[in-house]
Structure 1
């Protein structure tokens, strides 16, 4: 990355010598002179937005990161603001070049203080979880969990200091769907993944009793069996709302003593499975926090751990950068198959993949999904892509993997956690408010303003990369150490605020009848 300075400090950032835009590090005024090929700014340009460094004719490509981010919808002059008013999407050929950039990965060692379950799985947190088979049992599930909330009942868990909490993860589905359809299958796979997540010492599943998503069928399809640590019951079976709440409270009380019998111990970082997220992205995301997180991912992979890149609509247009790192052609083709599924899905739903970026993304300087995607894949670092998973599938591979999910952060992270993620790393340039249970979430700010303005929600500030006060490598090393600290039990900002229960949002793709 080249920082191009003006008097008083760097004004713009050039990311690649092939680019015909540079990024404003600060707000640029009309008539301001930039010492980049003698450019004079033609109109006010907000921080994080793009300015043209050469004339671009209508229909010609715009490049950032050395890659195409869109095409000029009208002629663009040197010094003009390059954004949604003069950039449009267009088709172009991408060279998938399967496996051409695969390389030998370094090996290192790292450790954290984890919780080792009886079957050898390693947890970063120790919760009792309450899941629901259907929306109809959500209220009672929440009431059971609320009985043990430390902010409401400070003494409820006083005797159980090793239990992080009791959480109810509810949803709005489970009935009025095809019992053999894709939608219910996806919900069951998600619930099944949470039911066996190592961060849960024990799980209760509460149903209504007459729903399509029968608990017995849920367990059977997911290869699960009710046990002392996986308990189930329904409102109709118990005999009503208040009785069910009382029964749930007694069930949790019976589980807490055993759940408390854990101690953290030193374990290898190969037991870390980190879900990668970016939300409320801006023009800095692909310059600061995302590549810094990518550097941390490379360190995690070198230590034997796993990172899950997701949000398929937000790698659209940049997928060729991942296929080049696929360990074989079959893995690369699995990724492209998911891209094609999304193209067909959007056509079927009369939608466009370029409905992303969001309004906030655009205000922060992102113009097209191509530009957003090129910045988003930076979270994956430079590690080889070893496998591709569908939504909420159990992740068994070690290294960098991809999971097919929507771009909507709560839905995407829900799938990652169902797949086994025991930590979430989340970059944001606009200040997203997000947390995840039972997996802790680390928030990484892309710029100094967001970190300083919303410091109570941000764990790491990556903004110094833009002004050169810290390197991507230094920031990446810090993020990796932060991962190890949070995995060892240090509470993230989102945990301190109590985020996590409302952010459980399984992907719903089927018809409701």
Structure 2
């Protein structure tokens, strides 16, 4: 833990040759290092990195004790790391056997702890109880929207109508020829009480697939939709199909049966081309769904052990503090859950580039390591064939806030997964069945990643952000954790937890990690509602692995 008078920079690992500025450092700042003083030749903004020694072209840049880049031109001692003087580089990797000695965290504060979840007939436990609408093809999205407006508003699941009220205020001001910019947002609204007390919501998986693309994309989408129907947070399903699309209902049902032969949730299928009219289809779908809601409303929360939790970990809108505050704090929470017998899902394969060797050394056997290596290499090779590659992952926002190379971003990102052994590696939509840390192959894209890890069974998602992002998921409650207090205060409407206290020195990574797990237990029990859920951030984007025709 830092003290208030501690040095305003951080050396993460003894082998590093860069320092991280924890606050803005003006030009001329004198920093005392073990090998003597360092005078900054230029200003360094908080979150950015500067070199401990003078660097020559071709020198290795080390951070987190790993190779994260190569110097492109001579840089003076104390020089700022930039995209001009440093380019991505990562170490080679291979499997050399499993000799990993994991030091488990102290779990004494969580032994015998429970949460109140929804137990399903197959033994899994949901943290929510949702009814899910699934379209087999994008042609049914409009029907879903009509049903959504009817059901959510009348059953008490609609978001606040404050924006509708504001628009009405503007209309009145316009009619009276008043200044529109004098109108204040009136946030008062009357919320309709929920009819079904044990149903947490009605969710809709609008998407743009199911036809028109490759058969491979339709097959992947079918597997994804089956995974969502089978998800422990889902109590019942309504399926809308057109009838003539690539993704036929029978393919979806086969994938569902393959995934869970004992699937027994109420599910109603409506194929529009078999109905007399669109109006009648919608009437019948609403009527049958209402009947299903009365059934799943009979399910109540029951006490469940923490080991039944499956938590996905994700970062988006990352900054230069992500790898030293929120991500390692989430990593500590991950280690606590694994030590308690739960599952943790770490995805975003493009953001594991540079961290491969560390993860491989943690794989419990050669089969797990081999699958990880195979998925990483095939994914990166495909990206290269279309003129890209993992090295192009950092976004302009990442770079602006101090994440200069993909390896630097990746090694900081992988800290969300903690330090526990890797028990399994899953391809896209594969279910997590083994307790422990599971690696899930998804893109780094925020929504595609959260969509994928939910398909693998995440019932909650811990989402760290340094810049702020309104991402959520319709099925797995998404908990937002800020890497810095400035963001937490600025975007308090979307942030649930502030990990900036690690940067200020008020809390340790371990203390923050325990707070995060405590919040997860409350969210899993329905005692707190994460802001992404309250704001209706129900983002869902399937990963298209093929081209669009």
Q: TM-score, normalised by structure 1?
A: 0.94
Of 444-453 and 88-97, the range deviating more from structure 2: 88-97
Aligned to 2:209, what secondary structure does the other structure show? coil
C-alpha distance in 2, partners of 1:247/1:156?
24
Residues 113 and 320 of structure 1, relative CA distance in 2, 3 Å threshold: same
Unpaired runs of 5+ residues, structure 2, are: 162-189
Look up the match of 2:18: 21
C-alpha distance in 2, partners of 1:103/1:69?
24
Q: 233, 240, 262: which is aligned to 1:206?
A: 240
Residues 177 and 222 of structure 1, relative CA distance in 2, 3 Å threshold: farther
Look up the match of 1:126: 129
Deviation at 1:247, TM superposition (A): 2.1
Which structure: larger Rg? 2
1:165 aligns with 2:164: no
Aligned to 1:426, what secondary structure does the other structure show? strand
C-alpha distance in 2, partners of 1:297/1:10?
29
1:504 aligns with 2:507: no
Look up the match of 1:491: 529
Of 113-122 and 65-74, the range deviating more from structure 2: 113-122
Q: Is the 8 A contact 1:281 1:430 kept in 2?
A: yes
1:435 aligns with 2:472: yes
1:139 aligns with 2:142: yes
C-alpha distance in 1, partners of 2:264/2:64?
53
Look up the match of 1:254: 291
1:70 aligns with 2:69: yes
Aligned to 2:464, what secondary structure does the other structure show? strand
Residues 187 and 329 of structure 1, relative CA distance in 2, 3 Å threshold: same
C-alpha distance in 2, partners of 1:50/1:242?
61
C-alpha distance in 2, partners of 1:203/1:99?
43
1:379 aligns with 2:416: yes
Q: Is the 8 A contact 2:238 2:267 kept in 1?
A: yes
Aligned to 1:231, what secondary structure does the other structure show? strand
Residues 157 and 438 of structure 1, relative CA distance in 2, 3 Å threshold: farther
Aligned to 1:411, what secondary structure does the other structure show? helix
Q: TM-score, normalised by structure 2?
A: 0.88
Residues 105 and 440 of structure 1, relative CA distance in 2, 3 Å threshold: same
Q: 23, 29, 32: which is aligned to 1:35?
A: 32
Deviation at 1:185, TM superposition (A): 2.0
Deviation at 1:298, TM superposition (A): 0.7
Residues 240 and 13 of structure 1, relative CA distance in 2, 3 Å threshold: farther
Of 469-478 and 114-123, the range deviating more from structure 2: 114-123
Q: 356, 373, 390: which is aligned to 1:319?
A: 356
C-alpha distance in 2, partners of 1:30/1:326?
45
Of 61-70 and 84-93, the range deviating more from structure 2: 84-93
Q: CA RMSD in A?
A: 2.0
Residues 286 and 104 of structure 1, relative CA distance in 2, 3 Å threshold: closer
Aligned to 2:208, what secondary structure does the other structure show? coil
Deviation at 1:93, TM superposition (A): 2.8
- For this pair of structures, how many residues does the alignment match? 506
